[in-house]
C-alpha cells in the first residue's frame, strides 16, 4: 500500500510539474504575469505556499493535479478580473495565447520523449530474432501449461507450417480462446500437443478485436544504442503511443470500446504500485505513457481543457474581437461540469474494478 501511494504521488507529481511548468515558461516568455503556481490543489487553504517575485508558489495536500493561474484569463478559478494591463493574458495576441495554452501539452510530449530516450540509451535496444524460436515463456499462460521451453522451435500451428515468428504469431492471433495444435522441435526431438489459447484485446484501426495468445516472446538480441539513435527511438515510441491514444479515443466515441475501459486515479495508483515493484525503469515507462495520454487529452477542444482555451483564442483571433464575458463564463462552466461528470463516472468504474 505504501509503495502504491508513493508511486502514484511521484508519477502524478512529475507529470503535473512538467505540464504546468510548460504553461509557466511560455507565459513568462511573452510577458504574462503568473499569479500562482501550484502542485496539488490547496482546498480549504491546506498546504504550503510562498510568495516569490510576484508569484505565489504552493503545494496543495490534494495531489490529483495542479495549476498555473495567469493574470487576465478565465479558467477553472472563474476569475473575471481584467484591468487591460500589458502583462495580462487577455492583452496578448492570438499566437501568444495559443503558445501559452499549448505549452503544457508540448512539455508532456517532450517528457515522454526524454524518458524513452533515457531508457533506450541505458538499456539498449532489443532486436527480436525473426526465427520462430521461443525466447521466454511466461508463467501461468497456455505455453507453460503446454510444456514449451526456451529455445524450442515452433514448426507448425494447426498443421500450417510457420517459417518465422511473424507467421507463427499471425496464426495464434487468429484463434482467440480456441484449441490449437502446436508442433515444435526440442533438441532434435519432434513434439506436438493441443492447447486452448487465451484472448487479449487489441486495437486495429479504431476497432477493438480479440487476439489469441499463449504467453511467449521471441529471442531478444540486445545491443547498445547511441544518443542520436536513442533520441530517434524516443520520438518514434512517443508517436506510437500518441497514435494509440488517438485510436483508442476514436474507438470510444464510435462505441467500439466501453467507457468502463478507461482508467481513473484509483486504477492508475494501483498500476503505478504494481509497476514500481517491477523496478524504476518500468515505472518510468508507465510515466511516459501517462504523460502522452495527459497531453493528448488536454489538447482536445473541450471547454475547461487547454484545447478549449486554444479554440477560444482562435475564434477571437479570427473574428478580431473578444467573446462576451457571459459566453466565456458559460462555456467554461459547461466544460467543467462535463469534466466533473466524466471524472465521477471513471471513479465509479475504478471502484467497481477494484472490488471485482
**pLDDT 10s digits, 157-177:** 999 999 999 999 999 999 999
> What is the secondary structure of 110-151 as a DSSP string?
HHHHHHHHHHHHHH-EEEEPSSSBEEEE-TTSHHHHHT--TT
For residue 300, the 8-state DSSP code is S
pLDDT above 60 (res 279)? yes
Mean pLDDT value across the chain: 84
pLDDT above 80 (res 2)? no
Domain segments of the chain as ranges: 2-123+259-354, 127-222
Cα 268 to Cα 262: distance, rounded to the nearest angstrom: 10
Cα 285 to Cα 199: distance, rounded to the nearest angstrom: 24
Cα 82 to Cα 91: distance, rounded to the nearest angstrom: 9
Predicted TM-score (pTM) of the model is 0.82
**pLDDT 10s digits, 17-51:** 999 999 999 999 999 999 989 887 776 666 788 88
CATH domain 127-222 topology: Pdz3 Domain (2.30.42)
Q: What angle do helix axes 306-319 and 94-123 make, rounded to 10 degrees?
A: 140
Amino acid at each position: 500500500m505504501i509503495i502504491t501511494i508513493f508511486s502514484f504521488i511521484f508519477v502524478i507529481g512529475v507529470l503535473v510539474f512538467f505540464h504546468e511548468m510548460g504553461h509557466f515558461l511560455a507565459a513568462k516568455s511573452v510577458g504574462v504575469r503568473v499569479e500562482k503556481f501550484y502542485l496539488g490543489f490547496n482546498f480549504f487553504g491546506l498546504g504550503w505556499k510562498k510568495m516569490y517575485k510576484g508569484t505565489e508558489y504552493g503545494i496543495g495536500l490534494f495531489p490529483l493535479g495542479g495549476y498555473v493561474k495567469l493574470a487576465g484569463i478565465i479558467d477553472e478559478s472563474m476569475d473575471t478580473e481584467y484591468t487591460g494591463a500589458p502583462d495580462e493574458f487577455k492583452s496578448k495576441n492570438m499566437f501568444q495565447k495559443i503558445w501559452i495554452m499549448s505549452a503544457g501539452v508540448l512539455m508532456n510530449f517532450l517528457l515522454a520523449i526524454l524518458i524513452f530516450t533515457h531508457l533506450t540509451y541505458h538499456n539498449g535496444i532489443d532486436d527480436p530474432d525473426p526465427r520462430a524460436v521461443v525466447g521466454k515463456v511466461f508463467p501461468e499462460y497456455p505455453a507453460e501449461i503446454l510444456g514449451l521451453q526456451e529455445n524450442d522451435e515452433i514448426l507448425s500451428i494447426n498443421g500450417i507450417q510457420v517459417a518465422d515468428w511473424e507467421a507463427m504469431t499471425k496464426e495464434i492471433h487468429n484463434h482467440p480462446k480456441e484449441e490449437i495444435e502446436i508442433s515444435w522441435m526440442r533438441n532434435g526431438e519432434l513434439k506436438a500437443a493441443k492447447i486452448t489459447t487465451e484472448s487479449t484485446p487489441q486495437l486495429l484501426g479504431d476497432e477493438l478485436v480479440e487476439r489469441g495468445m499463449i504467453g511467449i516472446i521471441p529471442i531478444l538480441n540486445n545491443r547498445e544504442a547511441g544518443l542520436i539513435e536513442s533520441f530517434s527511438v524516443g520520438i518514434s515510441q512517443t508517436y506510437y503511443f500518441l497514435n494509440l491514444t488517438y485510436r483508442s479515443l476514436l474507438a470510444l466515441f464510435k462505441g467500439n470500446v466501453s467507457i468502463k475501459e478507461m482508467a481513473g486515479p484509483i486504477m492508475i495508483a494501483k498500476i503505478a504500485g504494481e509497476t514500481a515493484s517491477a523496478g524504476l525503469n518500468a515505472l518510468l515507462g508507465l510515466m511516459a505513457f501517462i504523460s502522452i495520454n495527459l497531453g493528448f487529452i488536454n489538447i482536445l477542444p473541450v471547454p475547461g481543457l487547454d484545447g478549449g482555451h486554444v479554440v477560444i483564442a482562435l475564434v477571437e483571433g479570427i473574428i478580431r474581437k473578444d467573446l462576451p464575458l457571459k459566453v466565456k463564463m458559460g462555456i467554461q462552466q459547461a466544460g467543467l461540469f462535463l469534466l466533473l461528470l466524466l471524472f465521477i463516472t471513471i471513479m465509479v468504474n475504478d471502484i467497481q474494478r477494484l472490488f471485482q
